[in-house]
């Protein structure tokens, strides 16, 4: 019964978050042209920048070393977030492999960049499990989580949604596949979204991500 309650709560958050995300996304018939002053003449290949970048609400999670991860950890760095879970069979390992491959070029654009994996599975994704998992891809990456009471508002603030699916210990988690870029001042700045490709699942191409990140950094 408790599991069912958790699933219902997660679905409610997911629906609310998805509605908010849709509201924030430019209309389908609009251009991806930037409207924020310094970006107004820039178009992104794989996403959009928010018209009014805003600071994330106060949060406190834990990283893979057991250290607090708070708003202070965003200061002075570009932070590229995505959400998932370590038992994810395909999307998460594929995403982490792609980001690990793109990371050296992202660092060439800005040495002050951190990649942050947000685990939506705090019950199973312990500190040790997150440490082993993220180290397999890149030891510089962060792997953060918190109890759902803190994780819900944090993920929603970023524009991510997630929901537990199934019963028992082998439940899966449906989650967003986009990346969210937060500026060195802690403002949610841009979203990079997966694009459909013929015969392939939607994906964010590294070359487009790198090019878009360079445009944003060069005009910040």
Mean pLDDT within 106-122? 97
**Tokens found for residue 49:** 């920048």
The model's pLDDT over 54-113, given as tens digits with 9 standing for 90+, comes to 999 999 999 999 999 999 999 999 999 999 999 999 889 999 999 999 999 999 999 999
At 73, is the secondary structure helix, strand, or coil? Answer: helix
Expressed in angstroms, the distance from the first to the final Cα of the chain is: 50
CA distances from 178 to 67, 70, 162, 203 (A): 26, 21, 12, 9
Return binding residues for Cu cation.
88, 92, 175
Please provide the DSSP assignment of 51-87 as one string: EEEEEPPP-EEE-TTS-EEEGGGGTTSEEEEEEE-TT
For the chain, the structural domain boundaries read 2-26+42-218
Q: Which fold has domain 2-26+42-218?
A: Glutaredoxin (3.40.30)
Structure confidence by residue, pLDDT tens digits, 34-50: 344 566 667 899 999 98
């Amino acid at each position: 019964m408790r599991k069912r309650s958790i699933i219902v709560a997660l679905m409610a958050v997911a629906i609310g978050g998805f509605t908010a995300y849709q509201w924030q996304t430019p209309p389908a018939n609009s251009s991806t042209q930037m409207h924020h002053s310094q970006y107004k003449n820039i178009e992104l290949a794989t996403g959009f920048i928010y018209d009014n970048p805003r600071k994330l609400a106060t949060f406190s999670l834990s990283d893979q070393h057991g250290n607090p991860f708070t708003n202070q950890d965003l200061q002075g760095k570009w932070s590229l977030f995505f959400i998932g879970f370590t038992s994810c069979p395909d999307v998460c390992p594929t995403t982490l492999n792609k980001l690990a491959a793109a990371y050296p070029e992202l660092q060439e654009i800005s040495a002050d960049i951190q990649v942050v994996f947000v685990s939506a599975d705090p019950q199973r994704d312990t500190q040790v499990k997150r440490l082993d998992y993220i180290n397999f891809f890149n030891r510089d990456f962060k792997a953060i989580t918190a109890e759902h009471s803190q994780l819900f508002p944090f993920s929603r603030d970023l524009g991510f949604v997630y929901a537990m699916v199934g019963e028992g210990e082998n439940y899966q988690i449906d989650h967003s596949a986009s990346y969210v870029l937060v500026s060195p001042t802690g403002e949610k700045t841009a979203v990079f979204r997966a694009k459909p490709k013929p015969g392939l699942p939607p994906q964010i191409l590294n070359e487009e991500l790198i090019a878009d990140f360079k445009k944003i950094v060069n005009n910040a």
